[in-house]
Amino acid sequence: MTTLVSMVVLMVASLGLLEDVPPVPVSKADTDRVSSSKVDEILTRLEKRSDGITDIRCTVRLREDDRLNLSERVKDGRILFLIADPNPRFLVHFEKTRVDETLGKQEWYLFDGYWLFQGLERTERVTHREIARQGESVDLFDIETAPFPLPFGQKKDKILRHFDVRIVPPAKTDPTRTDHLVCVPKPGSRLERKYDKLEFFVREDLNLPVRVVATRNSGLEVITADFPNLSEKSINTGLTKKHFSQPREWKGYELTVEPLEPVKENPKPESTGS
């Protein structure tokens, strides 16, 4: 009964109808239960929203805050993402970079389904890193095994398996109309060594994150990715594989190739004779 009363109080308060009604005490257990229910709801919507998405095209601003060396790097660009067989394809092109207010050069990160290409204009170098062998599929959405966490396509059960998740009240600096989820890796997990925490700001009307924050190295490294124009118009825009060809700017760049280790064949058992 206390839980029911508390939820009704919270609902009525959210409608602004409690100005002349005395407050009803809400226990910590009730608050935790409501918060857990809200987290479950948001993660469910986040997972279901990915169903039916074939491609995404939007802008991105990446801010890398190095609090140890008091340095900040800001990159502005665009993201193209395409569901394809056997693996998705994506292109991240940072057209502008700034390091401590000094204008930098272009950067590209292209995944063609098998190889991850990193192109840097400042060094005129392209690195090819093999992620999957021909015909092999990789789950880029798996938050545990993927080389980087994508801001969509995450499975609720895997997030809850690896993180303690809570919802926090909105702040003035939050993107508008978002639910702010804080995900702290569970003790002893592999992700505990990789992140202090991950934060997702999920747009209520879109059910996709419009901001993702990764904190590392005991809070000394904070990476913030904003997707300022992500909307319904950004989804299923008609991208094809031709949008993920290597940029012409790479012509003449120095090339470094990093293939996967060869698969070792199981040795044949030695014959024991008769």
SS3 content of the chain, % helix, strand, coil (to 5): 20, 35, 45
Residue 16 lies in a domain: no
Q: What is the CATH number of the domain that holds 192?
A: 2.50.20.10
Residues 257, 249: Cα–Cα separation, whole Å = 18
CA angle in degrees (0–180, nearest 5) for 11-44-179: 55
Residue 271 lies in a domain: no
Q: Is 81 helix (H, G, I), strand (E, B) or coil?
A: strand
Residue 23 lies in a domain: no
Residue 265 lies in a domain: no
User: Containing domain of residue 62, as a range?
Assistant: 53-258
CA angle in degrees (0–180, nearest 5) for 219-191-128: 95
CA angle in degrees (0–180, nearest 5) for 216-221-223: 90
Query: What crossing angle do the helices spanning 2-14 and 28-49 adopt, rounded to 10°?
Result: 60
Q: Return the bridge partners of 119, or none.
A: 108, 126
Q: Domain total for the chain?
A: 1
20, pLDDT greater than 70: no
Amino acid at the residue 225: A
The pLDDT of residue 57 is 95
Q: How many CB atoms lie within 10 A of CB 84?
A: 17
Q: Poorest-confidence range of 131-135, 152-156, 195-199, 227-231?
A: 152-156
Residue 249 lies in a domain: yes
Residue 11 lies in a domain: no
Residues 146, 150: Cα–Cα separation, whole Å = 9
pLDDT tens string 102-159: 788 999 999 999 999 999 999 999 999 999 999 998 876 666 655 555 555 667 888 8
Contact of 197 with 215, CB cutoff 8 Å:
yes
Could you identify the residue written with the tokens 């993920």? 244
The pLDDT of residue 102 is 77
pLDDT tens string 63-96: 999 998 889 999 999 999 999 999 999 999 999 8
Residue 141 lies in a domain: yes
Q: Poorest-confidence range of 9-13, 110-114, 212-216, 253-257?
A: 9-13
Share of the chain above pLDDT 90, in %: 59
Side-chain-side CA neighbours of residue 25 (13 Å): 3
Q: Return the bridge partners of 202, or none.
A: 179, 209
Residue 115 lies in a domain: yes
